[in-house]
Amino acid sequence: MTKISATEAVAESLKTRILDGEFSPGEKLPSEQALLNVYEVSRLTLREALARLAAWGIIQVHHGKGAFVSDSVSVPALGNVLIPLFPRINADRMNDLVEARNTIESEIAAKVAETRTDDQIQTLDRLLAYDPRAITSAKAFADRDHQFHLTLVEMAGNVFFLSIYQALHHQIRSFLVQYAESVPDWKQALERHTPILDAIIAGDRERARSLAREHAGICASFIHQYKDASKETG
């Protein structure tokens, strides 16, 4: 039997319930807390599952209001088309993903630098606080890293940026897991986001844009170095 992740299990369950008519087009899904009680998973896992359904076009997530079944429920080819592009599966696509991330995240960082609030800065600062008791695996590090970038996207307040980022969710997370497996010091790796946050705090759009644009490329360099070293010792 093929083993699937908790995220996949929740996404598939909700998709089946929607397509079976338990939730009608335009209808609001149960609250986040209600879904957490039903599926008994972490908040991050549930949000990842909802992000996957949104990328498939099955639901629409309206922040502050909840998740709603799309008026015209369908599963577009996008989700399936992107599967072969996972960096772990197709290493040749690594540079393409880095370019896509840099383009999107640089504009997001610039936007947040312009509109950031004190509460948002505090939220971002907390996400960059390294806790060795919480970050105990490459996947846990990837979750924290991804949450920082996803939070920036949400703060930018552009629904199209958010939709694009959600569509790339699985590729980006796969990339981040590889990155976490490639670096020896997760605390230092998390701190590589600090200059971006400093530029945002300073309201320096251009510096935030420039630093964010370089960030994924720096991460990719560690992955390439790790793979090259593995080949030499293999």
How much of the chain exceeds pLDDT 90, in percent?
A: 50
Q: What is the reported pLDDT for 75?
A: 39
* Mean per-residue pLDDT of the chain: 85
8 Å CB contact between 179 and 219: yes
Kindly indicate the confidence band of residue 213, based on its pLDDT and cuts at 50, 70 and 90. Answer: very high
Q: What is the pLDDT of residue 24?
A: 81
Give the pTM.
0.65
The amino acid that residue 69 corresponds to is V
pLDDT in tens, 162-206: 888 877 877 888 889 889 999 999 999 999 999 999 999 999 999
Bigger pLDDT: 86 or 128? Answer: 128
Q: What angle do CA 42, 147, 222 make, to 5 degrees?
A: 120
List the chain domain ranges. Answer: 6-69, 79-233
For the domain made up of 79-233, the CATH class stated in words is: mainly alpha
Instruction: Dump pLDDT digits (tens) for 8-50.
Output: 899 989 988 887 678 888 899 999 999 999 999 999 999 999 9
Best CATH choice for the domain 6-69 from the list 1.10.10.10, 3.40.50.300, 3.40.50.720, 2.40.50.140: 1.10.10.10
